[in-house]
């Protein structure tokens, strides 16, 4: 063994040493910032949040979030409270919404401690946040998620309106955002988007003075009626094509390369 050259890991690279790696994933953070700016122009005058759930779609929230912040992003969406806690350490001033809502009364204190804003999407979520008090006068800020046709998460429109009327009297919690999620916005002609818009607009009447948000990446490229106060792109930030069947206006952020192990010539019929 004594004749072997020492192997010195390359400190510039994370993960496997590039000399040993079977592949390489390159994340272009300048392209990410350019995509944020393109979405900001597209959505204006609405603001643009950054959806960084699932570790920023696998690109590394710790790398992605500060770049978005520097590009002007002040509102972030994660899926899990743990992701929110990690993001809080990086972005002390950001508004951080947790899409999956509250994980029951035992989880609520973490939202208070790390100033995470739960996206409340069920009557259980609502009563849990109402009952939670880390301080009696605390405002309990949150978002209210209403399901307008995706059938995934959220209050029914009827539940949302009933909540708004009751909460206007009690003031138990402080909605900062009313939101819903589009199911088919990638197909610009899909009739469901218009129906979701109309349902959302009807619910908004009950939430006057509260910001609204409906559009994901694809929705940001529908007509301006869908933008409201805040759009919530994820995949387009990371270079994904927002509109099916149209050219992709986003810059490429992710490049995957793999080693070609060997190239061989084989005659027809050979195994
Ligand atoms: C994931 C998610 C987004 C972002 O969606 P993209 O299609 O990636 O832009 C926006 N809003 C909600 C509620 C989400 O769950």
Instruction: State the pTM of this model.
Output: 0.92
The answer to whether the CB of 51 falls within 8 A of the CB of 233 is yes
Residue 230, pLDDT score:
98
- Which residues' Cβ are closer than 6 Å to ligand 1? 51, 53, 99, 181, 216-217, 232-236
Please determine, for residue 206, whether its predicted confidence score (pLDDT) is greater than 60: yes
Which residue has better confidence, 92 or 22?
Answer: 92
- Rounded Cα distance between 167 and 257, Å, is 53
Distance 58 CA to ligand 1 centre (A): 14
The answer to whether the CB of 143 falls within 8 A of the CB of 117 is yes
When pLDDT is averaged across residues 94-110 and rounded to a whole number, the result is 94
Distance 53 CA to ligand 1 centre (A): 9
When pLDDT is averaged across residues 164-169 and rounded to a whole number, the result is 92
Which residue has better confidence, 23 or 161?
Answer: 161
The CATH topology of domain 42-258 is TIM Barrel (3.20.20)
Residue 16, pLDDT score:
72
Distance 38 CA to ligand 1 centre (A): 17
When pLDDT is averaged across residues 209-232 and rounded to a whole number, the result is 97
Please determine, for residue 144, whether its predicted confidence score (pLDDT) is greater than 80: yes
Please determine, for residue 12, whether its predicted confidence score (pLDDT) is greater than 90: no
Residue 11, pLDDT score:
52
Residue 55, pLDDT score:
97
- Rounded Cα distance between 247 and 264, Å, is 36
Both tokens assigned to 192? 């469901």
Percentage of residues of the chain with pLDDT beyond 70: 93
When pLDDT is averaged across residues 68-85 and rounded to a whole number, the result is 98
Helix, strand, or coil here: 211? Answer: strand
Segments of the chain assigned E as strands: 23-27, 47-48, 50-51, 75-78, 95-98, 116-120, 141-145, 174-179, 211-213, 230-231, 254-258
Domain edges within the chain: 42-258
Whether omega for the bond prior to residue 45 falls within 30 degrees of 0, making it cis, is yes
Residue 1, pLDDT score:
46
Distance 232 CA to ligand 1 centre (A): 6
Residue 189, pLDDT score:
94
User: What does pLDDT average to over the chain?
Assistant: 93
Confidence of residue 18 (pLDDT cuts 50, 70, 90): confident
The answer to whether the CB of 76 falls within 8 A of the CB of 61 is no
Residue 69, pLDDT score:
98
Confidence of residue 169 (pLDDT cuts 50, 70, 90): confident
Report pLDDT digits (tens) over 106-141: 999 999 999 999 999 999 999 999 988 756 667 789
Q: Computed over its alpha carbons, how large is the radius of gyration of the chain?
A: 22
* Ligand 1 pocket test target in 118, 216, 237 with most atoms within 8 Å of CB: 216
């Amino acid at each position: 063994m004594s004749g072997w050259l020492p192997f010195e890991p390359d400190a510039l690279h994370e993960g496997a040493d590039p000399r040993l790696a079977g592949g390489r994933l390159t994340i272009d953070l300048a392209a990410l910032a350019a995509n944020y700016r393109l979405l900001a122009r597209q959505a204006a005058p609405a603001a643009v949040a950054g959806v960084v759930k699932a570790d920023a779609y696998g690109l590394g929230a710790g790398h992605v979030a500060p770049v978005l912040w520097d590009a002007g992003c002040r509102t972030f969406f994660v899926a899990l409270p743990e992701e929110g806690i990690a993001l809080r350490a990086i972005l002390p001033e950001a508004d951080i919404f947790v899409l999956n809502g509250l994980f029951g009364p035992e989880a609520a204190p973490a939202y208070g401690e790390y100033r995470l804003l739960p996206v409340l999407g069920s009557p259980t979520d609502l009563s849990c946040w109402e009952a939670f008090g880390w301080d009696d006068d605390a405002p309990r800020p949150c978002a209210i998620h209403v399901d307008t046709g995706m059938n995934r998460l959220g209050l029914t429109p009827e539940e949302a309106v009933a909540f708004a009327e009751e909460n206007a009297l009690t003031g138990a919690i402080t909605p900062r955002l009313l939101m819903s999620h589009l199911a088919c916005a990638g197909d610009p002609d899909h009739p469901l988007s218009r129906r979701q818009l109309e349902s959302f607009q009807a619910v908004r009447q009950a939430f006057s003075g509260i910001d609204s948000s409906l559009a994901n990446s694809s929705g940001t490229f529908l007509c301006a009626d869908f933008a409201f106060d805040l759009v919530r792109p994820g995949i387009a930030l990371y270079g994904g094509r927002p509109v099916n069947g149209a050219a992709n206006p986003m810059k490429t952020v992710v490049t995957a390369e793999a080693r070609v192990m060997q190239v061989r010539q084989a005659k027809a019929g050979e195994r």
